Amino acid sequence: MRELNELKHLAIIMDGNGRWAQERGKQRVRGHEKGAETIREITMFCSKSDISFLTLYAFSTENWKRPKTEVDFLMRLLSDYLKKEAEVYLKNNIRFKAIGDLSRFSSRLLDEIETLTQKSASCSGLTQVLALNYGSKDEIIRATQKMIKAGVEVSEENLSRFLDTAFAPDVDMLVRTGGDYRLSNYLLWQSSYAELFFTPTLWPDFTAEELAIQIEEFKRRKRRFGGI
């Protein structure tokens, strides 16, 4: 029998929060609030599975283009989430990490990110990664600059070592909710051989059950990595 695909690294583009709210005649930010609950559900599901890394796209380098009120709300939501979730991470042995250019965040938010990262550093279960002010192009440029500064040979291996995701293997499976068929500058290098899944389900409506069905399909797909 063919060996089933191993799913070590799952990446998700959590899209559709604004539309979820608008469909209900609510303000877009209500969708972000509901989306935070989905993060909780999906993280718990992954922490009970064999998945080692769950990387969630929470805020892109392009999302600063949004109205200031929405950006400010997202920053507050993130701050509340980091504080509230700390206990859940520790209780469930979940390690927290952030990727992206964090330098643009307030010092208070940076402190909160750092605190949770350190508190959960020795957790050995799932690693949950939040992509914050993350853009793949920005990450590759920052990694290239570091590689040049370190004076090492320009190679695929060295570039991978200088990416924000150096601690994780390449992405095996990438899910985008919200009905669009694009990567929006997310993990372009790391997803070069990822299996892609697109669902019309808006992120606040996404469930562990739907993810479980996608994972079943992932296991049935034949990954060839350029071979035959």
Contact residues for ligand IPE, defined by CB under 6 A = 13-19, 57-60, 62-63, 74, 178, 180, 182, 184
Q: Give the nearer residue to ligand IPE in terms of CB position, either 56 or 147.
A: 56
Of the candidate residues 15, 85, 112, 195, the single one contacting Mg ion (CB under 5 A): 15
112 binding Mg ion? (CB under 5 A) = no
Query: Of these residues, 5, 17, 63, 138, which one is catalytic?
Result: 63
Q: What is the DSSP string of 71-114?
A: HHHHHHHHHHHHHHHHHHHHHTT-EEEEES-GGGS-HHHHHHHH
- 172 forms part of the interface with Mg ion (CB under 5 A): no
Residue 111 or 180: the one with the smaller Cβ distance to Mg ion is 180
Q: Binds 180, which of ligand IPE, Mg ion, none (CB < 5 to 8 A, cut-off by type)?
A: ligand IPE
56's contact among Mg ion, ligand IPE, none, with CB below 5 to 8 A by partner kind, is none
Nearer to Mg ion, 64 or 193 (CB): 64
Phi, psi of 197 (to 5 degrees): -130, 130
Distance from C-alpha of 218 to C-alpha of 95, rounded to nearest angstrom: 25
In this structure, the dihedral spanned by the alpha carbons of residues 161, 162, 164 and 170, taken in order and rounded to 10 degrees, is: -30
The Cα–Cα gap between 140 and 146 comes to 10
d(CA 89, CA 95): 7
Find the part of the chain contacting Mg ion (CB under 5 A) among 12-20, 73-81, 84-92, 154-162.
Answer: 12-20
- End-to-end, the C-alpha distance of the chain in Å comes to 17
Angle of helix 68-91 relative to helix 28-47, nearest 10 degrees?
Answer: 20
Which of 15/172 has CB closer to Mg ion? 15
Interaction partner, residue 14 (ligand IPE, Mg ion, none; CB < 5-8 Å by kind) = ligand IPE
Stretch that binds Mg ion, among 8-16, 51-59, 167-175, 213-221 (CB under 5 A): 8-16
Indicate if 172 belongs to the active site: no
Catalytic, 63? Answer yes
| Residue numbers at the binding site for Mg ion (CB under 5 A) | 15
